[in-house]
Amino acid sequence: MKKERIEAILQRFLGSDESRPAMQKISRVKHGKNYYACATNTHVLCLINDDKAQFKWVLDYPNVTKVIPEITNSIAVSIDTIEESFKKIPSFVVIKDEVSCQVCQGSGEIELAGHEYSCKSCDDNKQTSSKLVFECDYQLKIGEKLFSPNLFFPILSLLQIIGIEEIKIVSEIDIPMGALLIEVSEINAFILMMPMISVEDNTIIEIPYLESL
């Protein structure tokens, strides 16, 4: 994959915390035998294969690879199935002047590899583009792990824009704690999400998945 497309994808995963400047830039890290271009905001981590050394090693980047779980599964989940789960969660719209969209930063469009796409997290009208926010008393469940819909949705929107139809969960899902590792083979990437602690009064929406392949 060309450097420009890798950058366009990874920029969606960069942190905004000025006290953690290393997380505001794309880095190159080694995990196992491979090198990856990497971006993280501490809650979500994205790794895209960079064996061609298109990105420089950043010495002050934290050792994020320590949190990457072992690959033990191959569980298929369709993007359509995830989208159907989101439709069960009440949501509301916040105009971009108040809160910028996490996917397109309020522009209403996403540029990938020189092409512009409408942001599915926002309204169709760019001048009133907005962020879709889900009720905070809902949690998404995969196996025994729980996730914030507002953390998960920007990832779903980005995968839809890229044209991904199915992802594979490759880490353990039967324990509540520990990160969830997703493989997106079409872009030679892994996405890691940190789970939430169960909240007693929250409504749980389960995301169906296929049995291990």
Share of the chain above pLDDT 70, in %: 79
pLDDT for res 20 = 78
Q: Are 171 and 180 in contact (CB under 8 A)?
A: yes
Which range of 46-60, 120-134, 183-197 scores highest in mean pLDDT? It is 183-197
Tell me if 32 is assigned to some domain: yes
Residues 60 and 100 reside in one and the same domain: no
110 in a structural domain:
yes
Residue 99, pLDDT score: 47
48 with 16, same domain: the answer is: yes
Domain assignment present for residue 190? The answer is no
Q: How many domains does the chain have?
A: 2
Tokens 């839809």 locate to: 160
What's the rounded Cα separation, in Å, for the pair 1 and 38? 14
**With 70 as the cut, is the pLDDT of residue 91 above it?**
yes
Give the integer Cα–Cα distance in Å for 41 and 23: 6
Does residue 201 lie within any of the structural domains?
no
Domain membership of residue 115 as a residue range: 91-134
Can you tell me the distance from the alpha carbon of 150 to that of 155, in angstroms, rounded to the nearest whole number?
Answer: 10
Helices (H) and strands (E) in the chain — how many of each? 3, 14
Q: For residue range 175-193, what is the model confidence (pLDDT) as tens digits?
A: 999 999 999 999 999 999 9
State pLDDT tens for residues 24-50.
Answer: 888 888 888 888 999 988 899 999 998
* Residues 20 and 61 occupy one common structural domain: yes
Is 95 among the domain residues?
Answer: yes
Instruction: Decide which of 101, 134, 167 is a domain's last residue.
Output: 134
